[in-house]
Amino acid sequence: MALDKATVARIATLARIRVGEDELEPLAAELSSILDWVEQLMAVDTDHVPPMTSVAEMTLPMRDDVVTDGNNRDGVLGNAPRAARGFFAVPKVVE
């Protein structure tokens, strides 16, 4: 499955990773070779085979409705590259 530059650019945008114009072509080639190799999966007969939902054979555990966490602003903000007045600060989003 050959990926073209435009597709790689679109995926990179979806993934929010800046890829330089000059990198697009070699990256497309690399990703294409990986996807070509993965393509062999299509040869497997998977009719009526359900996709794996969990290796663990158990039911979803549930928690009680009790407050056990939070109240830890310093812990939550302590690693932030930029915080101000108790908030995380990011470049302004214009709606």
Interacting positions 61-90 with other proteins (CB under 8 A): 61-73, 75-82, 84-90
Residues 6+ apart with CB under 8 A from 80: 88, 89
* Nearest to 80, CA basis, from 93, 89, 91: 89
Q: Which is nearer to other proteins, 25 or 89 (CB)?
A: 89
Least distance in angstroms from the C-beta of 40 to other proteins = 6
Number of residues that bind other proteins (CB under 8 A): 71
Within residues 2-61, the interface with other proteins by CB under 8 A covers 3, 7-8, 11-19, 27, 30-31, 33-35, 37-42, 44, 46, 49-61
Q: Residue 95, CB half-sphere, CA atoms under 13 Å: how many?
A: 0
